[in-house]
Structure 1
Amino acid sequence: MADGFVGEDELQEEPEFGEIMEADGSPSGTDSESDLEFSETESEKSESMQDLKWSEGDCIHLESIKDAFDALLGTKKRVDSENPTAVKQDSKNEIGPVYVLPLYALLPAASQLKVFGAVPEGSRLVVVATNVAETSITIPGIRYVVDCGRAKEKVFECSSGITRYEINWISKASASQRAGRAGRTGPGHCYRLYSSAIFNDNFPDFPRPEIYRAPIEGTILLLKSMNIVKVTRFPFISEPAKSDLIEAENCLHALSALDSNTGCLTPLGHAIALYPISPRHSRMLLTAMQIGHHYNVKDNPRLLAYAAATVAALSLDNPFMIDIASEQDQDSKCEGGASQNMHSTGTDVEPVQGKADLEFSGGKVNASLGIKSMTERKELTQAKKTHNQSYRHPLSDALSIVKALRAYELSDDPEELCSNKKMHSRILYEMSKLRKQLIQVYLVYSNEKETSGVSFCQGFTVADVEVAWKKDGVHCDLCIKHETVLRQAICAGWADRIARKVNMIEMAKDSSAGKHKGRPYHICATDEKVYIHPSSSLRKHAPEYVVFNELVRTSRPYMKLLTSIDVNWLVTHASPLCTFSKPLSDPPPWYDSIADDIYCWVSPTFGPHLWQLPLHQCPLKSKKHRVAVFACAFLQGKVLPSMKMLNQYLAADPSTLVVSSGSVQKRVIQLLHALETMSIDSRSKLRSIWEVQTDYLFQEIVAWFQKSYRLHLESIWAVLKQEAQLDGKTLFAKEKRKKRK
């Protein structure tokens, strides 16, 4: 909410220094009022008069405030009480125009500096400011402060992850700070648009500590890295609620940073704790580089540059200037006019209270503050969409910001670019600095011993990353492989903020689905239905699964900064939130010759709502079952290719090792027992055994051949031991090429 600051040119008389006035112009009550003694009758009379005053409505107060502004603008003329038709010419009303300037955090630096500049001759300075002027700066020449007593705060709910903007009363300490803005360089007044009763009864003494109003998983991660396992017993100065501490630990568990059994950090958790950013952003950066290292993605310096840029983009506010009034108007029509029109500048969504807000003082104040008519606002909205269209990425809002950030850094005149493209230059400037810092931090900590359990991309410098970032100019788009890696990394960082589109059958059952514009989504954390924010580039095609950075509640819950994801990524990057079934018998488990491991198919579900996911392959865990599958694969020639030539001489089908549960055949029992004794379930383990005992398993395997052909095994036994020294890619290179064809 905005407060008004009035310059010294309009000062008519010398009031007391920093005097506080109430809305009716009377001095504000102080603590000394409690020393006055009233009879019970007088007290009751006073209360009844106060109730009567407020029961008549706020019209008197609004009229008095409007009259005050009219007088300030010089438009209100004095009328003679004896002759109402005669208008007196008062020399005091013949004053100059009002010079009105805005002041808020997202305002460009050049516009912010105007409040410190010279005021046009004959004009009176009026600064309409947010609470950024409460303590951060001192504007010279301000004699009057109009304090509304309100502030819009960002409130975060740990239980649901929802962020909403609430307009609440400020604290008494903040009110004192606002009053102190009046008369910093001389005498001044502070006009409070609330009574002393509201001040005493409704205002808290101090603002709530930040730990109550922001996510605390970063704090919990820091405590865990200091080997403080039981964070609920830690003596916080301002202790958070126990439920918030539990939710923070659940968040770290979802990020694979916390072991759910021991409560200690995993190797990945220790790596995440090294970075001076939130755990989500650290997880995203590390995952992107891990994927690049694991799959040998080419041009890793370029991947690191874009990964750091994506982290910076999601760490700060949206740089695009957004006006979603037109979209919200359409929503209001769908809802029967129940919802309010919403207006947003920057990233905040703030309700417009009524027509009076847009037409106050005959539009004269509005012109100074830049408030436009509804038609002009719609035209401005369309212009912003057109200007930003070149940066829109169809699969990720985060990558849209990355494209804008890259254009900002490569531009010869960044300020002009931001002005033409309707972007906040200050936010992009901070993103640029954060991106460079993250690159330096990553390259420093990639050699830390504490991250030994995490794979890092190495072998390049900061200069290499910057060259890759600027390569091919502004119009060069990121390759599809790098985009996929970044989207997977975003999925890993916000694994507990997944949303699934409501299908048509569910929409048909829900009678309220048609009242809202846009396709509703289910989120994994709660049962509430949410919608894609109108500013998102994903709103038109509405992907099946999305991950959102923030959930904001306005007229309805909106997801912001969305990224489309593949549902198969959830079992890889959000495995702590997945529940897996027992290994399926159909299709049966199998041995992978290239990976030298045994896999099976499972049926996974995701989240507390048990969303059904596609079948997923994972390593088989049962030791007994692994040995049986390996034995079958060995006899079929899938472990060592030379065995495949002898399949025609086998006395029994190798599949009986897997199918025949509890078989009494001697050859089956002997082979499985020999493998289980030495825990042989892979080519690498077999190689280790043969290096010590060269003839191990010979008798057990010979028993599977027909008696007249057992000499064939003896002739190739030395070849089998040689093949065991090679890896799967070398042994089965021909088969791999055939599969590709």
Structure 2
Amino acid sequence: MGVKIGEEVGYTIRFEDQTNPSVTVIKFLTDGVLIREMMDDPLLTKYSVIMVDEAHERSLSTDMLLGLLKKIQRRRPELRIIISSATIEAKSMSTFFQARKKDLRHAAEDSVPSHLPAVLSVEGKGYTVEIHYVEEPVPDYLQAAVGTVLSINDKEPAGDILVFLTGQDDIDAAVKLLREDTQDDRRRTSGLLVLPLYSGLSRVDQDLVFAPTPKGKRKVVISTNIAETSLTLEGVVYVVDSGFSKQRFYNPISDIESLVVTPISKASARQRAGRAGRIQPGKCFRLYTEEYFLKEMPTEGIPEMQRSNLVSCVIQLKALGIDNILGFDWLASPPPEAMVRALEVLYSLGILDEDAKLTSPIGYQVAEIPLDPMISKMILSACNFGCSEEIITIAAVLSVQSIWVSMWGAQKEFDEVKLRFAAAEGDHVTYLNVYKGFLNSGKSSQWCYKNYLNYQAMKKVVDVREQLSRLLRRLGLALKSCEKDTQILRKAIIAGFFANSCHLEEYSHNGLYKTVRSSEEVYIHPSSVLFRVNPKWVVYHSLVSTNKHYMRNVIAIDPSWLIEAAPHFYQVRTPNLAPC
């Protein structure tokens, strides 16, 4: 648009604001940030038009935002709301935004849009994509994907290939198979440039994906569903769609989040096929039958609202003054069990009182911090323990996806490097060592590369830490250092995560732990510095289920600290501690 970013056109994301209130007229921002803006401006009065893009993805924040916007528009009928997506079910979205009967009866008291939401179809510039299906279901989608790439390379004209697989393990395996094939210069596959694409890649590897394809080469990008809508790859003419993606499903009973390989929806299938028709007519090779697509594939995926931990969602709605959360106008109703679990967690942390209202000051302070409430409680407790300088560093690391870079084929070297930073207390203290090393290096990208660290993630940690520091000062809370007192540090962590405690099973030779709260069988994740160390008692940041239930970001503790931190949650029982 020919303007400088941050002036007429700007953006706001969590912990970063590139706008000028007196000049900016168009602002790009995440749905989560817009929800947080409602805390200071409940009716979003500074906006006259709000456009929600990629609404078909049905993220937790998007569903919350749509419910809130519907509520706002009843008070501000002049507000224009645009919901856009290439594959959205427009009719159902239009129905959601129509005023309910009880609203119409009270139209004189409360302004209600008198017209139905318009449904517009805007034809974008695109090319025809020829769809190919397999005749019979494939027994192994990974092998089928590799075979399809080789077939395209043999039979089809020039053009890059985009392959959709489920996750890093599948992608690395496919990359290995194709690279082994390309190393034989006598074969036609020697012209293939095979590249992975997933969120944990280093910046250097990401840049290779977006760089122009060298002359005489055909680029093959093997990606997760991040390439469905989040980014555009120039030069893609062929798409190979495995028909699967990896999604997170939260079980509120066990408090375990599982990464599950699931079939995609028709909406996702259309998005994937559309990647092939950006620059010229393309082809999409679907590794499933046409009959399955037409008769069995679900129209839309399961919204995040119905498969996620709702703790952060509940506290945001409470902070916006919405007390009747079950009566909130949801686009898709959340599971009652997940809602009850979220209320239990917030009550146990002292964030909600017995009437399910925000406590003062803790509840309101937690609501001000744009992080998971357990992390926020940890930060506030650290101010009392006198270790807030260290804890905001840990919180910043936990808020980014991963500071480590996965280097294919270099696991031994990676483990050796990680060992240099490892702390006996666990992952949280290890992160402090990494952060200190990064600062001592002068925030060097080369240092990060040598130590298998994601430079962009480390820069983000520094930025987030600075934002948290400013936020605590604004809340009138002092920043103090505990000067390497890791006991105090761990007690502050427990203040936020006491519900996530586990003990090692007696006579366990394979590192089997049981959660204190629900006796779930869990293991320390191999990425943890405590993997195979197996302290008797630990507290974890999150539980993820793949082939086993794994604890991520683990720290060793003394069990007596649990009663000290949460006497309302624990009581002593011989021989172990148990929740009330």
Question: What TM bracket, shorter-length normalisation?
Answer: 0.5 to 0.7
2:402 to 318, 321, 324: 318
Amino acid aligned to 2:560: N
For residues 523 and 215 of structure 1, the distance between their equivalents in structure 2, rounded to whole angstroms, comes to: 18
Whether 1:493 and 2:514 are equivalent positions in the alignment is no
197-206 or 552-561, larger mean C-alpha shift: 197-206
Aligned-pair CA distance for 1:68? 6.1
For residues 274 and 67 of structure 1, the distance between their equivalents in structure 2, rounded to whole angstroms, comes to: 50
Aligned to 2:439: 409
- In the TM superposition, what whole-angstrom CA distance separates every residue of 1:264-305 from its partner, at most 9, and x where no partner exists? 33222222122121211110000011122xxxxxxxxxx333
Aligned to 1:598: none
Aligned-pair CA distance for 1:491? 0.7
Contact 1:579 1:605 in 2 (8 A): no
SS at match of 2:227: helix
Check 1:62–1:541 CA distance in 2 against 1; reply closer, same or farther (3 A cut).
Answer: closer
- Count of aligned pairs: 424
Aligned-pair CA distance for 1:549? 0.8
Check 1:21–1:285 CA distance in 2 against 1; reply closer, same or farther (3 A cut).
Answer: same
Percent identity of paired positions between Structure 1 and Structure 2: 27
Aligned-pair CA distance for 1:95? 8.8
Amino acid aligned to 1:244: A
SS at match of 1:250: helix
Aligned to 1:72: 153
2:483 to 479, 486, 494: 479
SS at match of 1:489: helix
Aligned to 2:36: none
Aligned-pair CA distance for 1:579? 4.2
Aligned to 1:238: 332
Contact 2:148 2:240 in 1 (8 A): no
Contact 2:200 2:402 in 1 (8 A): no
Which residues in structure 2 correspond to 1:107-118 (within 5 Å)?
107-118=201-212
Aligned-pair CA distance for 1:218? 1.6
For residues 73 and 417 of structure 1, the distance between their equivalents in structure 2, rounded to whole angstroms, comes to: 42
Whether 1:431 and 2:472 are equivalent positions in the alignment is no
- Could you tell me which runs of 5 or more consecutive residues in structure 1 were left unpaired when the two chains were aligned: 1-15, 25-49, 76-92, 293-302, 322-344, 347-369, 371-376, 447-455, 459-464, 469-477, 505-512, 582-602, 611-741
Which residues in structure 2 correspond to 1:394-473 (within 5 Å)?
394-412=424-442, 414-446=444-476, 456-457=477-478
Check 1:409–1:214 CA distance in 2 against 1; reply closer, same or farther (3 A cut).
Answer: farther
Check 1:606–1:201 CA distance in 2 against 1; reply closer, same or farther (3 A cut).
Answer: farther
Aligned to 1:564: 556
Aligned-pair CA distance for 1:22? 2.2
280-289 or 234-243, larger mean C-alpha shift: 234-243
Which residues in structure 2 correspond to 1:154-173 (within 5 Å)?
154-173=248-267
2:318 to 189, 201, 224: 224
Aligned to 1:393: 423
- Could you tell me which runs of 5 or more consecutive residues in structure 2 were left unpaired when the two chains were aligned: 1-125, 157-186
Amino acid aligned to 1:484: Q
In angstroms, what is the RMSD of aligned CA positions? 3.1
Which residues in structure 2 correspond to 1:497-516 (within 5 Å)?
497-504=500-507
Amino acid aligned to 1:485: I
Aligned to 1:280: 374
SS at match of 1:495: helix
Contact 1:23 1:61 in 2 (8 A): no
Whether 1:384 and 2:387 are equivalent positions in the alignment is no
Aligned-pair CA distance for 1:67? 7.1
Which residues in structure 2 correspond to 1:474-623 (within 5 Å)?
479-481=483-485, 483-504=486-507, 518-579=510-571, 606-608=577-579
For residues 569 and 61 of structure 1, the distance between their equivalents in structure 2, rounded to whole angstroms, comes to: 47
SS at match of 1:231: coil
Contact 2:378 2:495 in 1 (8 A): yes
Aligned-pair CA distance for 1:112? 1.8
Aligned-pair CA distance for 1:580? 7.7
Contact 1:169 1:202 in 2 (8 A): no
Aligned-pair CA distance for 1:96? 7.0
In terms of fraction of residues, the more helix-rich structure is 1
For residues 255 and 490 of structure 1, the distance between their equivalents in structure 2, rounded to whole angstroms, comes to: 12
Whether 1:248 and 2:333 are equivalent positions in the alignment is no
Amino acid aligned to 1:17: Y
For residues 497 and 464 of structure 2, the distance between their equivalents in structure 1, rounded to whole angstroms, comes to: 20
Aligned-pair CA distance for 1:569? 1.6
Aligned-pair CA distance for 1:503? 2.4
For residues 565 and 230 of structure 1, the distance between their equivalents in structure 2, rounded to whole angstroms, comes to: 38
Which residues in structure 2 correspond to 1:703-722 (within 5 Å)?
none
Aligned to 1:720: none
- In the TM superposition, what whole-angstrom CA distance separates every residue of 1:398-455 from its partner, at most 9, and x where no partner exists? 1212221232233236321222111222322222221111111111122xxxxxxxxx
Aligned-pair CA distance for 1:227? 4.5
For residues 318 and 148 of structure 2, the distance between their equivalents in structure 1, rounded to whole angstroms, comes to: 59
Amino acid aligned to 1:20: E
Amino acid aligned to 1:19: V
Check 1:249–1:61 CA distance in 2 against 1; reply closer, same or farther (3 A cut).
Answer: closer
Aligned-pair CA distance for 1:104? 2.2
For residues 573 and 195 of structure 1, the distance between their equivalents in structure 2, rounded to whole angstroms, comes to: 56
Amino acid aligned to 2:483: C
Aligned to 1:307: 391
Aligned-pair CA distance for 1:533? 2.0
For residues 535 and 61 of structure 1, the distance between their equivalents in structure 2, rounded to whole angstroms, comes to: 25
Aligned-pair CA distance for 1:121? 2.3
Amino acid aligned to 2:403: P
Contact 1:409 1:432 in 2 (8 A): no
1:198 to 292, 307, 322: 292
Aligned-pair CA distance for 1:180? 0.9
Check 1:176–1:409 CA distance in 2 against 1; reply closer, same or farther (3 A cut).
Answer: farther
In terms of fraction of residues, the more strand-rich structure is 2
Contact 1:74 1:94 in 2 (8 A): no
Contact 2:145 2:240 in 1 (8 A): no
Contact 1:578 1:605 in 2 (8 A): no
For residues 497 and 328 of structure 2, the distance between their equivalents in structure 1, rounded to whole angstroms, comes to: 27
Contact 2:129 2:282 in 1 (8 A): yes
For residues 381 and 74 of structure 1, the distance between their equivalents in structure 2, rounded to whole angstroms, comes to: 37
SS at match of 1:232: coil
Give the TM-score normalised by structure 2.
0.67
For residues 546 and 411 of structure 1, the distance between their equivalents in structure 2, rounded to whole angstroms, comes to: 32
For residues 61 and 280 of structure 1, the distance between their equivalents in structure 2, rounded to whole angstroms, comes to: 38
Amino acid aligned to 1:186: Q
Give the TM-score normalised by structure 1.
0.53
Aligned to 1:686: none
Aligned-pair CA distance for 1:397? 0.5
2:130 to 12, 20, 37: 20
Amino acid aligned to 1:21: I
- In the TM superposition, what whole-angstrom CA distance separates every residue of 1:478-504 from its partner, at most 9, and x where no partner exists? 7342x2222111111112111112224
Contact 1:96 1:124 in 2 (8 A): no
Amino acid aligned to 1:437: Q
For residues 325 and 453 of structure 2, the distance between their equivalents in structure 1, rounded to whole angstroms, comes to: 42
For residues 64 and 100 of structure 1, the distance between their equivalents in structure 2, rounded to whole angstroms, comes to: 13
Aligned-pair CA distance for 1:61? 12
